[in-house]
A = this chain, B = another copy of it.
Amino acid sequence: MTKNVTIKDVAQFAKVSIATVSRVINQHASVNPEIKEKVLKAIEELNYYPNNAARSLKIQNTRTIAFLVSDISDYFFTTIGKGIEDVIRNLKYNIMFCSTGNSGEIELEYLKLLLEKKVDGIILNTTGKNNEYISELSHRVPIVLSNRRINHPNFKGDFVDFDNFGGIFELTSHLISLGHRDIGVVNGPLFLSTFKERYEGFVSAMKTAGIEVSEQYPFQYIGNTYSSSQDGYEGAKFLMEADVRPTAIVLMNSEIAFGALRYFYEKQIKIPDDVSIVSFGDMFNRDLLYIRPTISYTNLKGIGKKLGELMIERIENNDIVNREIRFTPRIQYGNSTRPL
């Protein structure tokens, strides 16, 4: 914050009161055109920019929305972020990006910071480790959840996600229809709703084909490193180095898919000759990869727009009923599967 010209300086320069200056800045009420002109000239002349902090302090809102996610350099979130921006920008809101790196502590730290910044609302892709706190918080600041639900009776807010169950059900069914039965799965931690729902979609599709997936099911790997990409690598390794290999693998998100792809590439495991794969969610530059996985395509920008809309509504009134929006993914075929 550099030394600054204030509204007072402008008023003095234009020989009017600060109230008048304020009025022309905010295009409030009626101001004599001549005086208005004078003020505008003074503003220009002095290089005046209203102090946002002072304004926020007075009017009790910041017109800022926070977008707190696990990884702000992830294509997934930056694209969603663009969608949010599309919506809120016209309404003169600003977005503030923060990333938790999936750490519960950092999430908490940021949440507190946002509270101090008095953001008008928080769009949150939670780590899943502060459900209690966030539920309590949700009564004091509007919250909309992005892609990870908080299952807590006290939580107040909206939730936007894909139809995880349906997307994975479809993907798995596709593999089954190709004749696969020993289908492996690489997933992230199940306490996150996305992974849980996807897992359930997998189990259900398998069940439909008469295959029981229980804890004893051999072809599954549940990651726990909090780096999906590493989980993907480890998971692929685990499945492919076992005594009995699956003939196909379901990868539960794009980061996991990238990790798995890296493993396959290193070990020269041929896709789909050695093993077929499918993955949930769009992949950055998928058309340029050495294998184009068959995926559930998801409209990320659309998700972002919806998040933005719900947020705005909730800022206006946080007492509306909790809402849940699901986007249906569409399957997009690549060259990563083969019939058995």
Which residues of A does B touch, CB under 8 Å?
A: 1-2, 4, 47, 49-54, 56-57, 60-62, 72-73, 75, 78-79, 81-82, 94, 96-97, 112-113, 115-120, 140-142, 258, 261-262, 265, 284-285, 287-290, 318
Contacts and interface: CB of A to CB of B under 8 A. Distances in A.
Contact of A288 (B79, B265, B287): B265
Given A72-B81, A140-B2, A57 B54 contact: yes
A289 B287 contact: no
A326 to B, nearest CB: 24
27 contacts: A1-B56, A1-B62, A1-B118, A1-B119, A1-B120, A49-B112, A49-B116, A50-B116, A51-B116, A51-B118, A52-B116, A52-B117, A53-B56, A53-B57, A53-B62, A53-B118, A54-B57, A72-B78, A73-B82, A78-B78, A97-B97, A261-B288, A265-B287, A285-B289, A288-B289, A289-B290, A290-B290
Contacts of A1: 56, 60-62, 118-120
Nearest to A77: B73
| Number of copies of chain A assembled together | 2
Given A1-B61, A53-B57, 4 more contacts: A51-B116, A53-B118, A94-B113, A288-B289
Given A47-B140, A97-B97, A116-B51, A285 B285 contact: yes
A254 to B, nearest CB: 10
Contacts of A289: 285, 288-290
Contacts of A53: 52-54, 56-57, 62, 118
Interface pairs A-B: 10 shortest CB-CB? A73-B78, A49-B115, A53-B56, A1-B61, A1-B118, A53-B53, A53-B57, A52-B116, A290-B290, A1-B60
A2 B141 contact: yes
A173 B127 CA distance: 48
Contacts of A115: 49
Contact of A290 (B79, B96, B288): B288
Residue among A2, A113, A284 having the largest count of chain B Cβ atoms under 10 Å: A2
Contacts of A51: 57, 116, 118
Given A73-B79, A288-B261, A52 B118 contact: yes
Greatest chain B CB density within 10 A among A1, A57, A81, A115 is at A1
A56 B82 CA distance: 29
A258 B288 contact: yes
A82 B78 CA distance: 14
